[in-house]
Structure 1
Amino acid sequence: MTSKPKIIVLDDDPTGSQTVHSCLLLTQWDVDTLRLGLQDESPIFFILTNTRALTPQQATDVTREVCHNLQQAIEAEQITDFLVVSRSDSTLRGHYPVETNVIAEEVGPFDAHFLVPAFFEGGRITRDSIHYLIVDGTPTPVHQTEFAKDSVFGYHHSYLPDYVEEKTQGNIPASQVERFLLADIRQGCLERLLQLSNNQCGVVDGEKQEDLNQFAADILNAASQGKRFLFRSAASILTALAALPPQPIAAEDMSEYVREGKPGAVIVGSHVKKTTEQLQCLLQEPGVVGIEVDVVHLLEDSQAQREALLDETLNRVHHVHAAGKTPVVYTSRQELQFPDIATRLKFGSAVSALLMDIVRGLPADIGFLISKGGITSNDVLSTGLALTSARLLGQILAGCSMVRTPADHPQFANLPVVLFPGNVGDAEGLATVYRRLSQTAG
């Protein structure tokens, strides 16, 4: 083993790999599959738990199962040096502290766990322990954005110590949270890191990638001296910890991966405002045809209506593909109201299941696939394409990963798949990715 620790990422949707490349994304977590990740040459690998789409109890159970198997895999591979990252949303939505608590119980103890939500590619920075989204060039405290009003993961604080106190229901008071400010990070904080113990909670600033690179260097130094750390973070700290060279093929040239230069398909599940703007821009592009799926019909829970909706959608998809164009399948955009969270999550599962049936029914010779939305992307990999693992090729746009299916995939061999999070990129983002992949499409 080298002295560099293996970075093990439990990702609550499949978009946390959005700043790295050439590593494995695992959609299953049996011991043998986890050993593949630990054996892989890349310093980092991702386990796609998709827990953000689950209830707190389901998220607890899945995380515990992953960690239980991970402990066995680590022992089997005799790995002593590792960091664990609970990768979640840069807008602070997710099951915190549920997941970090379970990880600490199963693969701890840890000397500290750090909240590092900065995600520079997506315009999220942390300054003076306050987390901001940059909206139209202006830093906006995250509690003032639509994300803080999320019906499942809402919160009231952008000041991270207060966020920790709120989410832990006072178990970790704000006054006990260690703050790593920009000034601390830039002058080096190794000495402080070496003194942390008993799973101390810390919150970490970051205005630019260099800040987290500096912090990561100190973390790795402390880890090499025996300190054990857990992270609850967005993607940018992963870039710093993995310290990878540039990706093999530049973002602008990724059409090289398109199969036979053929037109592709786009699946849009996310319905956040940014996705809707991006969808509208994409539908203006030459060579694309929009196909709306009216998901309101799924509220009636009628199998016959669902089958009719699926057949009609797939007929249109195949017709568009036969004409040499790219079908863009998207869910109807209106925000539906639900009596409770469980009903909302159940409806979301029904929508996703329909979309995955559409993925399975796509023409076998599509050139590429773009999946828009975090939960949608996870389901595309694990359910629609039924992958155990996929190799990450790199980023086709800041924050947008491209993976490729294995050569022995029974239906879509060597298919490039773009994992495009719901709330990443400017209004032209989706159109830009489409244009990059369609350079050679006839």
Structure 2
Amino acid sequence: RRFLFRSAASVVKALADPGPQPLDPNGLARLRRRGPNGEGLPGLVMVGSHVPLADQQLMRLLEDPRCIGLELPVRRIARVLDGGSPDLLLPDLEREWCEQLQALLQSGRTPVLFTSRGEIRLASASAGRLMCQTIARLMGRLARALAPGLGYLISKGGITTQTLLADGLDLEAVELEGQLMPGLSVVRPSAGVAQALPIVTFPGNLGTDSSLCEAWQRMQAG
């Protein structure tokens, strides 16, 4: 029989107990990809989760002047989807956001891509699901476009991370390297545009208000 689990990282230890992880948190941070001269490539933080704790963590991270936020306006995206030509308008917006992210990376700062905080009321549950899927896939495509030049990526939110890995980066499997912090797994693709890129998978409702900032500081120091 085959089983599919959707769970926290601790399920692996509970089922198989692989023993101590080969790399400690500092070692995991040193997996950060580097440029031709040995310099650490820049990182990207994505926050799709909008639970209250995620809001607090995002605000705390953006207090650091080395991190610059780029907000995906959910209401604007909803209007585009409700309009007559979403297949034409949404790609234009996506190109604009991608250019902004590229400019932030070139400036030496860490872009923090996040969705508008709070929830909006839509006409139906199916419309809500379509909106969630559209935004998650949009974030995944943006990450894919930036992936070749990234040193690391932090993805916060279960749907955001699953869509990033499966759709955005088109991955069928990743290597689990260990936990950067309790509950924060570091995985790396073995192929594709994000080959060897350390990706910190960060559940939405996990940690304290400083956990996202601490995870970023650890990876940035790698």
When residues 351 and 401 of structure 1 are mapped into structure 2, their CA distance, relative to the original with a 3 A threshold, is: same
Measure, in 2, the Cα distance between the counterparts of 1:312 and 1:320. 13
Q: Corresponding residue for 1:426?
A: 208
Measure, in 1, the Cα distance between the counterparts of 2:196 and 2:114. 24
Divergent runs of 4+, >6 A: none
1:265 paired with 2:44, answer yes
Alpha-carbon deviation of 1:9?
4.7
Q: Corresponding residue for 1:99?
A: none
1:323 paired with 2:102, answer no
Measure, in 2, the Cα distance between the counterparts of 1:404 and 1:363. 12
Measure, in 2, the Cα distance between the counterparts of 1:386 and 1:308. 22
- Out of 352, 370, 376, the position equivalent to 2:154 is 370
For structure 2, list consecutive stretches of 5 or more residues without a partner in the other structure. Answer: 35-39
When residues 393 and 335 of structure 1 are mapped into structure 2, their CA distance, relative to the original with a 3 A threshold, is: same
The aligned runs of 1:57-76 (5 Å cut-off) are none
Q: Given that residues 287 and 325 in structure 1 are in contact (C-alpha distance below 8 angstroms), is that contact kept between their aligned partners in structure 2?
A: yes
Measure, in 2, the Cα distance between the counterparts of 1:285 and 1:10. 39
Measure, in 2, the Cα distance between the counterparts of 1:11 and 1:384. 21
Q: Corresponding residue for 2:21?
A: 247
Q: Corresponding residue for 2:194?
A: 412
The aligned runs of 1:8-407 (5 Å cut-off) are 9-12=3-6, 16=7, 18-19=9-10, 235=11, 238-260=12-34, 261-300=40-79, 301=81, 302-362=86-146, 364-406=148-190
Measure, in 2, the Cα distance between the counterparts of 1:241 and 1:350. 34
Tell me the TM-score normalized by structure 1: 0.46
Superposition CA RMSD, Å: 1.8
For structure 1, list consecutive stretches of 5 or more residues without a partner in the other structure. Answer: 1-5, 20-234
- Partner of 2:180, secondary structure, is strand
Measure, in 1, the Cα distance between the counterparts of 2:171 and 2:87. 27
Per-residue CA deviation, residues 193-212 of structure 1 (Å, 9 max, x unaligned), is xxxxxxxxxxxxxxxxxxxx
Q: Corresponding residue for 2:220?
A: 438
Q: What is the number of equivalent residue pairs in this alignment?
A: 212
Tell me the TM-score normalized by structure 2: 0.89
Which one-letter code corresponds to 1:239 in the other structure?
K
Name the larger-Rg structure. Answer: 1
Which structure has more RCO (C-alpha within 8 Å, separation ≥ 6)? 2
Which one-letter code corresponds to 2:74 in the other structure?
V
Q: Given that residues 254 and 436 in structure 1 are in contact (C-alpha distance below 8 angstroms), is that contact kept between their aligned partners in structure 2?
A: no
When residues 9 and 428 of structure 1 are mapped into structure 2, their CA distance, relative to the original with a 3 A threshold, is: farther
Alpha-carbon deviation of 1:270?
1.0
Which one-letter code corresponds to 2:155 in the other structure?
S
- Partner of 2:149, secondary structure, is coil
- Partner of 2:146, secondary structure, is coil
